[in-house]
Every structure is written in structure tokens, then in C-alpha cells.
Amino acid sequence: MGTLIDTSVLIAAQRGQIDLDAIVDAEGDDDVAIASICAAELLHGPHRLPTAVARTRAERAVEHLLEQFPILMFDMDIARVHAHLAADLAARGAQVGAHDLMIAATALAGEYRIATRDIRSFPRIPGLDVVRW
């Protein structure tokens, strides 16, 4: 089973709160990837910065981080898992944010676990293996 890294882990790495390389190395031969929605979330951040210099510096850092991992695109297989999860969660009255639901669907469709620092939403999703990094 591989590991899909959530945006919260990537942000913690950018802020120097965790050593992402050491954690990934400890995973051994497991595949480690990022969902395309996580890439979008990371790419959004620099656009909110007040100066062109800060935006450029942050964009470069994000692009460098994204180059280190395969990006799993949201495709029809993932869309089908997403639709099933959304309906199931709605029927149970459980709420999960739209982006987290897309990340979870990406993980389940590809048989990945989720590595996250935010353990509020993901544990609500049946069948999803969640690890805290």
C-alpha cells in the first residue's frame, strides 16, 4: 500500500515543522504521491501573498516540492469513488470538506493510505487508512 500525502503534511514540511524527506525515506519501498487537488491547494497559497517577490519565491518553493512526487490526477475511477463516498456520508449525516473528500476518493481508488496532520475529517471515511505524519 502506498501513501497519499495530504496538504497539511506538505505545508508542515514547507514551514520546517517536519522533515518530510526523513519520513518518506522511513516508508521504504512504498509509493508516495500527491492528489491533484493537494497540488491546487498548494499552488493557491502563493497567489495570496502581498508582493510579487514573495509570490515568486513561494511559487518556486511549491513547484520544487511538487516535482518530488507523482501527482495523481482526478479521473473517472476516482470520480466514481467520490460519488459513492459523498452519497454515503450524506446519508449518515457526516460532513467532510469537498477537497478532503476528493483526496480520500483518490486514496481509496488507488489503494493508498492518507498521511495527514489533520485528523478531523479523514477518520469519518469508511475504509480509509489514516496515518498522522
> What are the pLDDT digits (tens) for 15-51?
999 999 999 888 776 799 999 999 999 999 999 999 9
Low-confidence ranges of the chain (pLDDT < 70): 29
User: Residue 30: its pLDDT value, please?
Assistant: 78
Give the CATH number of the domain where residue 79 resides: 3.40.50.1010
User: Residue 54: its pLDDT value, please?
Assistant: 95
pTM of the predicted model, to two decimals?
A: 0.91
Instruction: Give the separation between CA 20 and CA 26, rounded to whole angstroms.
Output: 10
In which domain, by residue range, is 48 found?
2-132
How many domains does one find in the chain?
A: 1
